[in-house]
Structure 1
Amino acid sequence: MAATLRSQRPAADRFWAKVNKTDTCWLWTGAKTSRGYGQFTTGGRTGMAHRWAYEDRNGPIPGGLPLDHLCRTPSCVNPAHLQPVTQRVNILRGESVVAKNPAKTHCPKGHAYDEINTYVTRPYPGNPSGARQCRACDRERKRATSWKRRKNPQS
C-alpha cells in the first residue's frame, strides 16, 4: 500500500522533498550513484536527479546534451548550477587528467605552449588526437643527441 500512496503524490512534490537547499547548492538527499549523482524514479524509470531538476525548471535539455555542474558538486540539483554543454566541453571543464593536460600553459621545463613554440604530433593508437610537443625542448633534445654523436662517432 505504501507504494500506491507514494505513486499518487505528484513527482515534483516527491522530488523537491528530497532537496536540501543551502545558500549555494541544492543538495540531493535521496538515492545516489557510486559517484555521488542523485537518482530519481518517476513513471517506473530511474534517471539522474540533476537532469530532472533542470527540465522541471527550464524545460527540455537542448539536444539531450550533458549538463555540466558549474559548482563541481555531483549531488547538486540547483538548475542555476547546471549548464547544457557538449560532452567534450564537459570533460575539459572537469578535474581529470584529460582536462588538466589541455589546460597546461607551459611544458614541464617552463617553455610556453603557444602557437610558435608548440606542435602536435601525428595521431597514434594511444593518443588518437596527437600529442602537444614543445619545440624548444625538441631542439634541446636534438642538440644533445647531435653532440653525443659528434663526441663518440662509433656509437
Structure 2
Amino acid sequence: MPRISATCSVVAIPGIFIVTMIKPGTLFIVTVNGVVMGKTPCSIDGCTRDRASKQGWCKMHHKRWQRHGDPTYERPTVCIVDSCDRPVFGHGWCKMHHRRWERHGDPLKTLIKTGEPVARLWSSVDRGAQQSCWLWTGSTQSNGYGYMKVNRKTVMVHRYVFETARGPIPETYTIDHVCHDPKRCDGGVDCPHRRCCNPDHLKAVPPGDNNTRDRCISRNGQKTHCKRGHAFTPDNTRIYKSGSRACRRCAAILAHERYLKRKKDQA
C-alpha cells in the first residue's frame, strides 16, 4: 500500500478499502462495511491510546486483562483488608499487611495478640492461688518487668493491673510489689516478683519507699560518701524523681573536665 503524504485527506482504493488520513503519519483503514482494520483508538471509553490487541484494547488495558481478568481494573488506593484505611503499599495491601504476608504468607497473621486489652492481659498471666504470685508469661523488658501494648502504646503490666483493679496511680508514685522480701530475694533483673500481677501484691508508694525495699538500692542508700569520698550531705546531694541520688561535687568536677577537654580540642 502506498504511503499517504501529509497533504492528502482521503484516498480511495477501488473495490477493497477506503483509506482516511487523520493526521500526518497515522493511517486509519476502514473496510466498506465499517469494520476497523488498522490503527485505531482503544475501545475502552475515554482511552486515546492506539489499539494493540485483537480484543480492541490498548497495551495497558490488555495487560490489566491478563493480570486481573478485567481491562478496566483500577489499582486500589486503600488497603483491601477490611477495616484498614492505610494507603496501598503493594499487592493491594498497606505496608503493615504486606510485611505480614512476606513474613508469614498471610496478611492477617500476627504474633501480637489482638482483642480487648484486659482479656489479652489475663490470657498471659499464670494465675494460681489468691495468696500466691500471678506471674506474667508474656514479653519482659531488660529490667525484668513485663510490658504489653494498649492502644498502640507500651505500658508496664504491673502498673496496668493496678490501674485496672484499683484506679489511677497518684502522680510521682511507683508500684511496689509487697510480695518481694529483700531478706529472701536478692532482687534485680532475675527477681520473679517483678513479673507478679496479683492486685493484692501491688501497692502505690513514693519512689523512696520502693527503692529501700530493693536490696541493691537499699545497700547504696546506706552509703554516707560517694566513690570519690564526698559526704552525702543535704547541700551536696541531688535527689532525682526516681528516688536515686547523685553527688553535686562529683557532677561539678565532671563538668569542669568536659569543659577543659572541649577547650583543648578547639585549640
1:61 equivalent in structure 2? 169
2:119 equivalent in structure 1? 13
Aligned equivalents of 2:221 and 2:116: distance in 1?
Answer: 45
Instruction: Choose between structure 1 and 2: higher helix proportion.
Output: 1
Conserved 8 A contact 2:163-2:169: yes
1:93-108 aligned at under 5 Å gives the runs 93-96=213-216, 98-100=217-219
1:2 equivalent in structure 2? 109
Encode CA deviations 1:43-67: one digit per residue, 9 max, x unaligned.
0001100011111111111225110
Aligned equivalents of 1:102 and 1:65: distance in 2?
Answer: 19
Task: Quote the offset at 1:25 in angstroms.
Answer: 0.3
Task: Tell me the percent identity.
Answer: 33
Task: Quote the offset at 1:21 in angstroms.
Answer: 1.2
Encode CA deviations 1:13-65: one digit per residue, 9 max, x unaligned.
11100000133001000000112111011100011000111111111112251
Between stretches 87-96 and 45-54, larger displacement belongs to 87-96
1:88 equivalent in structure 2? 208
* Structure 2 CA distance for partners of 1:123 and 1:29, relative to 1, 3 Å: same
* Structure 2 CA distance for partners of 1:64 and 1:41, relative to 1, 3 Å: farther
* Structure 2 CA distance for partners of 1:124 and 1:60, relative to 1, 3 Å: closer
2:199 equivalent in structure 1? 79
Measured on the aligned residues, the alpha-carbon RMSD in Å equals 2.7
Conserved 8 A contact 2:173-2:206: yes
Aligned equivalents of 1:78 and 1:86: distance in 2?
Answer: 20
* Structure 2 CA distance for partners of 1:122 and 1:86, relative to 1, 3 Å: closer
Q: Tell me the TM-score normalized by structure 1.
A: 0.61
1:47 equivalent in structure 2? 155
* Structure with more relative contact order (C-alpha pairs < 8 Å, separation 6 or more): 1
* One-letter amino acid of the structure 2 residue matched with residue 99 of structure 1: S
Encode CA deviations 1:111-141: one digit per residue, 9 max, x unaligned.
xxxxxxxxx867547756xxxxxxxxxxxxx
Aligned equivalents of 1:70 and 1:121: distance in 2?
Answer: 30
Secondary structure class of the residue paired with 1:68 = strand
Higher alpha-carbon Rg: 2
Q: Tell me the TM-score normalized by structure 2.
A: 0.37
Secondary structure class of the residue paired with 2:215 = coil
* One-letter amino acid of the structure 1 residue matched with residue 145 of structure 2: Y
Conserved 8 A contact 2:172-2:207: no
1:28 equivalent in structure 2? 136
* Structure 2 unpaired stretches of 5+: 1-107, 181-192, 224-231, 238-245, 249-267
Aligned equivalents of 1:10 and 1:42: distance in 2?
Answer: 9
Between stretches 24-33 and 55-64, larger displacement belongs to 55-64
Aligned equivalents of 1:92 and 1:83: distance in 2?
Answer: 14
* Structure 1 unpaired stretches of 5+: 105-119, 129-155
Secondary structure class of the residue paired with 1:60 = coil
